[in-house]
Structure 1
Amino acid sequence: MRRVNRLLMFLGVLLCLVWSMAAEAAPKQELDKENINAIILGDRLATVAYHLGVVPEALVARCVWPAVTKGELSHIKRLGCPKRATVKDKKLVAEFAEKKGIKRILIENTGDFCRYMPDANPMNIIPLLQGKNVVLDVVDFNQGLEPAVRATGKLLNREVEAEALLGKYASDLARAKKKLPSAKLGKKVLILNGIMVGKTGKSFIQVEADGGYSDHFFLEPMGCESVGNLLMTKEKEASKGYFTLNNIADIAKADPDIIIVTGESFPVEKALAGAARKNPALNQVTALKNHEIYSLPAYMDGSVLDYPYLLMLWTGALYR
């Protein structure tokens, strides 16, 4: 009986120790960044601020960068994308700022903010906030990342951190570019995006249409060709850069040299396995025959400081 009591006591002490360590660790994640009483509009600006160690009270962005998608910024209020805040709900930002006593709004200025939604532009918030007793700070990304990072550092009193960040980015980008092929590869690439529907167990697959972000930032620099549009029909027109793939066996029409899987890989892997069992001839598709199928992070030019790392990953898949 004494041994049992000692064991229970030991387990109790161990459990208290684990709880104590967890309690100490939890606030450190938030204290790692400085929370400022402001609203940031724009993925690129929010990304730069985050890497400078600053996060806002609220965020208006497409939310396509890792800090958001991984839940690291779960404590920050998300007010939707710029289209919602400037077209669908024009009072959203002003009302939230007034409710929370926020007097500062930081706005990203990027001409081609989102190639999939031309009317989603953070700059459209400016006329909606005139006369609202708030200070508007605009950061111009049209002249390149370097001046934008410096301007953000100055606004956030993080100028030293901005220079260090730019130094690391330049080094990382130079390293990534050294791995690029010296000649065009000429490979046909099909990009599939797997999506799980919540926790329902249901899933579907999208095809990234030609001319999207992957084309511009990865395929074109390496002389590769996107063949997604070969699977497009009148019933499968692209919306926001993607269209649904109803039959995985249709990839034979494009016969890609390489298949890149973004999003959730499981729906794509499961569909390919099932289709190959039903139709063994599908295994003669070049990418399947040569085992050239790679799961990679997607990039939509929001997490601008992560681009060198992602470029290295995509280069490793397309060129070896």
Structure 2
Amino acid sequence: MYNRTKKISTNLTTLVLTLVFVMGLAAICQAAPKPKPKMIKAVMLGDRLVDVAYNLGVLPEYMSVRGSMWPMAGKIKAATQIVGCPKCVVSKRPHTIPDLVMKQGIKRVIIEKSANFCLYMPSANPVKVVPLLKDTDATIEYVDFSKGVVPAIRQLAKLLNVEEKGEKLIASYQKAYKAVESGLPEQGLGKKVVILNGVYSKATGKTFLSVEAPGGYADQYMLAPLGCTNAGAAFAPPSGAVSRGMYRVRTLKALTEAKPDVIVVTGAAWAVQVALQKQIEKNPALLSVPALKTGAVFTLPRYIDGSVVEYPCIFNQWKAALSN
């Protein structure tokens, strides 16, 4: 019994150290601090739009973005106010944007146009706010992302009168994107991956776990280009219910069925780390899972196609981890 307990403890220590070490990967894209952004009296609707504006050194006083899903929102919400996601400000609180125009004096409304704004909320579309503004004196402007990131950067830079910054951003983005394309593995990595997402509630102090379901943003932008597959289907509930691309889970025992070669941790990494540690202690069979056996557990940024400028850097982090 002593030897068995000692072995489990050693494996847990190795896993914890691995998680602590690889958490550094998630900070790679955070280069030197950016200058304080210029604030403009406007409201912007759409993650991609706000992301490009931020990288151009500009932020609106108010923004409507997927705050609970887009990691960048947590970084910039101290400088600007999130008024809700584009779906909420249309269907649940339709007075929100008109009130900003009529009561707060926000006359400029800049809207993202995308072919498919949100994979997880098909009905969400920033453009749907326009009919709500018909009785206001708002100036409505659009930035079209349906033709690609580069034209959108150029279009927004012109609207914000920062064309020179726009061209510099385009040059750096194109250089990074071309490096991603040229660096794709000739043969797929062929690894099975499970993506565990941790959430911490400040209000209750509780933590929650979820598993990214197959067919989401990670599959499209990270796993498929690297020739990897999402093994998260093992966690699907009997109903098959998916909430914003995630299966909500209370136990990780399905890892023994999924048998991932790699476990990717997103969100509140420590919540996942604690859950893994506790459940391995209760169920040592989890240590037979290839990813846990080899310590292939990596903390990486979640990607929902919002941080379009940062995509090449985020992709390179995933590539480095999955190629390990």
Query: Which bin holds the TM-score, normalised by the shorter protein?
Result: 0.7 to 0.9
Partner of 2:186: 182
How many residue pairs match? The answer is 291
Match of residue 100, structure 1, among 81, 98, 104:
104
TM-fit CA distance, 1:177: 3.3
Residue 169 of structure 2: aligned partner: 165
On the 8 A contact 1:179/1:315 being kept in 2, the answer is: no
Deviation track 1:177-235 (CA, whole Å, cap 9, x = no partner) reads: 34321111221100000111216442121000000110010001011110111221225
Counterpart AA for 1:187: K
Secondary structure of 2:177's match? helix
Taking the aligned partners of 1:134 and 1:219, their CA distance within structure 2 comes to: 42
- Post-superposition CA distance 1:8-32 (Å, at most 9, x none): xxxxxxxxxxxxxxxxxxxxx9982
Report the counterpart of residue 256 of structure 1 in structure 2: 260
Query: Given the alignment of the two structures, is residue 300 of structure 1 paired with residue 299 of structure 2, yes or no?
Result: no
Q: Which has the larger radius of gyration?
A: 1
- Asked if 1:216 corresponds to 2:231, the answer is no
Give the Cα separation in 1 of the matches to 2:35 and 2:41: 15
Render the CA deviation track for 1:110-136: whole Å, top value 9, x for unaligned: 021001011111000111112311111
The amino acid of 1:252's aligned partner reads T
Q: Is the 8 A contact 1:47 1:65 kept in 2?
A: no
Q: Name the counterpart of 1:69.
A: 74
Instruction: Provide the rounded CA distance (Å) in 2 between the counterparts of 1:258 and 1:293.
Output: 6
Matches within 5 A, 1:200-215: 200-215=204-219
Quote the Cα distance in structure 1 between the aligned partners of 2:152 and 2:170: 10
Secondary structure class of the residue paired with 2:121 = coil
Deviation at 1:276, TM superposition (A): 2.0
In structure 2, stretches of 5+ residues that fail to align are 1-32
Q: Give the conservation status (yes or no) of the 8 Å contact 1:179–1:312.
A: no
Distance in 2 between residues matched to 1:31 and 1:287, nearest whole Å: 40
Of residues 164-173 and 58-67 in structure 1, the stretch that sits farther from structure 2 once superposed is 58-67
Instruction: State how far apart, in whole Å, the 2-side matches of 1:280 and 1:232 are.
Output: 23
Which of 309, 316, 324 is the matching residue for 1:312? 316
Counterpart Cα distance in 2 of 1:103 and 1:80? 18
C-alpha contact 2:234 2:254 (8 A) present in aligned 1: no
TM-score normalised per structure 2:
0.85
- 2: CA distance, partners of 1:65 / 1:267: 18
Tell me if the contact between 1:33 and 1:55 (Cα under 8 Å) persists in the aligned partners: yes
Residue ranges of structure 1 left out of the alignment (5+ in a row): 1-28
Matches of 2:142 and 2:165, distance apart in 1: 20
Aligned CA-pair RMSD: 1.8
SS in 1 for 2:166: helix
Query: Aligned letter for 1:239?
Result: S
Q: Quick one: distance in 2 between partners of 1:195 and 1:91?
A: 30
TM value normalised by structure 1 = 0.86
Specify which structure has the bigger relative contact order, considering alpha-carbon pairs within 8 angstroms and separated by 6 or more residues: 2
Instruction: Name the stretch that deviates more: 272-281 or 45-54.
Output: 272-281
